[in-house]
Structure 1
Amino acid sequence: MTCIDVAVAGGGPAGAFAAHELARAGKRVLLIDPETCRPRLEGLGERVVRLLASKGLEEALEAASAPMPRKVSWAGLNSTANGERLVRRHDFDAALRRAAVRAGVLHTVARVSRIETCDPETGVVLKLSNSERVAARLMIDARGRQSPSSAGLKGPRTLSLSGLLAEPGDSTGTHVIATPQGWLWSAADPHFGHWIQISIDADDLHGSGSDALSKRMRAFLRQPQLGSRFTDAGFKGRLLARHAGLVLAAPELKLPVLPVGDAAVAIDPLSGHGLFWALSSALAAVPAVLTLLETPARGRKLAARFYRDRVVETFWRQARTGRDFYHLEQNLAAYPFWSRRTAWPDGEPSHASADKVRLERRVVVENNRLKERDVLVTPQDPDGVAFVAGIPVTELLGLVRADGPSRSGSPDLSPAQATALRWLDSRNLREGSPGPFPKPPANMRETA
């Protein structure tokens, strides 16, 4: 039986990236992946490009195009203001797995058949589809929507159907089009072909099998809003059907399993946030894993708080941002697909707001470990700030008290302190300004 620190189930972007980063941190990692990703195109934003480049993963970006124009036909507008890259997901995933192996990750082509043992103190014992057995102190679940979940909250049930056009045409770039039945994403890459994806109500698919998928796709593409562009479209190979609604799959951390990506929060493709969430959630899992391995008792409490805050906030932000975007399409508001999504989840704003300055005690990442710190919440920073120019916000209190330096240009200040004070000035948080820096409560203390 193989014994390791961390077993990663799922070799998509979230799993491969988490495995890569943990191996670089010196941990023994096994990546368990069936390698079943079907060839397809997805959109990739510049945040993902910057993140991968910062980690030395340029090889994965070879599976992506240069920035391409994106045309949006939505809410009566036709805009080409934004762009995106196109990424061949099968090549992208494979490149990330290769990078993980080079970093020292063990890799096996298999599925997790059964979790035989699952204990927060002793770890997991996994039975794999290739008959291997694996013991690990922790398991990262990166199996996406196939992962078992509590699924506490779900948005409207959305189904995405997609496929590669038989006749690619000569256009490049992407196009998003709103229609009464849902919306379409059309992506043309000269190195792959012309990929079509439609998002519809899951209940609008009648029957099962490839014939039902083809019939539903043809009905969607014949809508008048699409003109004659796809009327006679044929597809190479089978169409791909995937559930695509927003799901809070695992709101609570149940160790020794840490969900990442869609196994934690499954994202609606409308947001274009899927790949970034997969990688950023994997990156956030790394300090949680390292803390749990090094200080298990204390780490369990910190990891549970850190995980819940992150995934629950992501779910509600994505739900409300999607609602607002659907709501822009007033011309189609009466159709069931649109009315369901403009009425869910609630009427709250999509982003956090703060009407006053305050300190809150939260779990943050410091030196790639989880720590409890005081976080400063301001109207400009409603999500909170733990450090300014590398200085904990609690240390800034000393800089603005009467016995500390009061001028950002004082020779007694380090460059970081001067930068931090200028940041305080930008938010009117210096003594005597309209929004004075809050005094620390008497019982406030730092936890190392």
Structure 2
Amino acid sequence: MAEIIYDAVVVGGGPAGSTAAHTLALKGKQVLLMDKRGRIKPCGGAIPPRLIKDFNIPDNLLVAKAKSARMVSPVGKTVDIPIENGFVGMVDRAQFDEWLRNRAQEAGAIREDGLFESLEREGPYARIYYRSRGPSDGVDGAVKSVLTKSVIGADGAKSQVGRSAGVKGCAEANYVFAYHEIIKTPTDRPLSFDATRCDVLYQKPISPDFYGWVFPHGDTISIGTGSADKGFSLRNAVAKLRADIGLDQAELIRHEGAPLPMKPLKKWDDGKQVVLAGDAAGVVAPASGEGIYYAMLGGQLAGEAVYEFVESNNPAKLQLARKRFMKEHRLTFIVLGIMQYFWYTTDKRRESFVKMCEDKDVQRLTFESYMNKKLVRKKPMAHVKIFLKDMGHLLGLAKV
């Protein structure tokens, strides 16, 4: 029997990979979706209304709906920001990611539990070697291979697929290391916890250069933190955060850790057969750490670019994934990158940043941009007002 040659092999079954596989399967392409069984990324699980709408996410996947956000400054000052005319959906990544994988499979993608090992070129094709991780394969499993016309690397930060294919910058990007714990929501929950509010903490013991979070997930809670400081203990910080809010005795369900890229890679493809998506492409938003929407959009665009590549046999089509993504979101990533660089570097600046969040114009424009995934260009006087306040805080002219 002749060996199957896939149109595409997607490595990684998170939001980016599952969406890429779903996109290609809907277009009638023969797709293999390869995922490392049991892998869940540390994530607060927040998804904006635009994601819910654009990707047809059913309401039953939302384990909670956040109606407000609380910012906590280095000295403990709090600013509560209501989410006007809507909500932020909260998902449990274990359930959400599996639903996305199943949707891709229902559209026609073939699923395989496997751990990517290497990529080799065979004429116009790529051969993917992987270690099978099915229920009957044991811990290590057998080394298998498949032949494909194209590959989508959605295997996370420092992508092994990208490095095997020679995509530049996969291992050199800047990363924040994130860790979180999923705990069971206690029946006697402390007064400091609100099941409809996302808490974001800018406190040095919790994170010296990023932030910590407490996000409601219905029956569970995600408590986590991130930092680029490799010497900072994320586990200890989360333990302190749990104790500070009275949830140190809550039942631990699971915990995860992973690096989060803070800047899109300058190149997402190898100019031959491979294109990256999601964390592998570096599309986690600076300052906020948000990645689910950008991962799914990047996966969709990677799937569309691969479709055009397979149809035309023109490797230049692979570049379209990055070009289309950056055309829509380049400015957002620039603004958030500048914001993180300026406001997260010292406690004094983080104190000023939280103070700025008291401003109603800041709140309104921030959430409008987040919910709709577009920088708000209307209300020019509000932007001028925010800019003047921003400069006042930067120059130390505003009171904290």
Moved more, 44-53 or 77-86: 77-86
Structure 1 residue 246 and structure 2 residue 294: aligned? Answer: no
Matched, 1:283 2:300: yes
Equivalent of residue 301 in structure 1, options 289, 294, 316: 316
Contact 1:63-1:89 within 8 A present in 2 as well: no
Q: Using the alignment, how far apart are the partners of 1:154 and 1:72 within structure 2?
A: 34
User: Is the 8 Å Cα contact of residues 250 and 263 (structure 1) preserved in structure 2?
Assistant: no
Distance 2:153 2:345 in 1: 39
Alignment of 1:96-175 (within 5 A): 96-117=100-121, 122-130=124-132, 131-148=143-160, 149=163, 150-151=168-169, 157-165=175-183, 168=186, 169-170=188-189, 171-173=194-196, 174-175=198-199
Aligned residue-pair number = 317
**Structure 2 gap segments, 5+ residues each:** 133-142, 354-376, 379-400
Deviations, residues 189-213 of structure 1 (Å, cap 9, x unaligned): 233x12201122333326xxxxxx5
Distance in 2 (CA, whole Å) between partners of 1:265 and 1:312 is: 16
Structure 1 residue 328 displacement after superposition:
5.3
CA distance in 2, matches of 1:250, 1:152: 10
Q: Provide closer, same or farther for how the CA distance between residues 167 and 260 of structure 1 changes in structure 2, counting only shifts above 3 A.
A: closer
Matches within 5 A, 1:49-128: 49-53=52-56, 58=58, 61-74=59-72, 78-82=79-83, 83-117=87-121, 122-128=124-130
Give the TM-score of the pair, scaled to structure 1.
0.62
Q: Which residue identity lines up with residue 188 of structure 1 in the other structure?
A: P
Query: Equivalences for 1:2-81 in 2 at 5 Å?
Result: 2-38=4-40, 41-53=44-56, 58=58, 61-74=59-72, 78-81=79-82
SS at match of 1:100: helix
Q: Letter of the 1:46 partner, please give it.
A: P
Unaligned stretches of 5+ residues in structure 1: 207-212, 223-227, 339-379, 382-448
Which structure has more strand as a fraction of its residues? 1
Over the aligned positions, Cα root-mean-square deviation in angstroms equals: 3.3
Residue 350 (structure 1) aligns with: none
1:117 and 1:124 in contact (8 A); partners too: yes
Q: Is the 8 A contact 1:16 1:96 kept in 2?
A: yes
What is the one-letter code of the residue matched to 1:258? V
In the alignment, the residues of structure 1 paired with residue 257 and residue 240 of structure 2 have an alpha-carbon distance, to the nearest angstrom, of: 15
Query: Alignment partner of 2:82: what SS?
Result: coil
Q: CA deviation at 1:28?
A: 0.7
Would you say 1:271 and 2:288 are equivalent positions? yes
Distance (Å, rounded) in 2 between the aligned partners of 1:152 and 1:125: 20
CA distance in 2, matches of 1:145, 1:332: 28
| Structure 2 counterpart of 1:51, one-letter code | D
What secondary structure, in the 3-state scheme, does the structure 1 residue paired with 2:104 have?
helix
Change (3 A) 1:65 1:269: farther
In the alignment, is the contact (CA less than 8 A) between 1:155 and 1:319 conserved in 2?
no
Distance 1:118 1:177, change over 3 A: farther
Which structure: larger Rg?
1
* TM-score normalised by the chain length of structure 2: 0.69
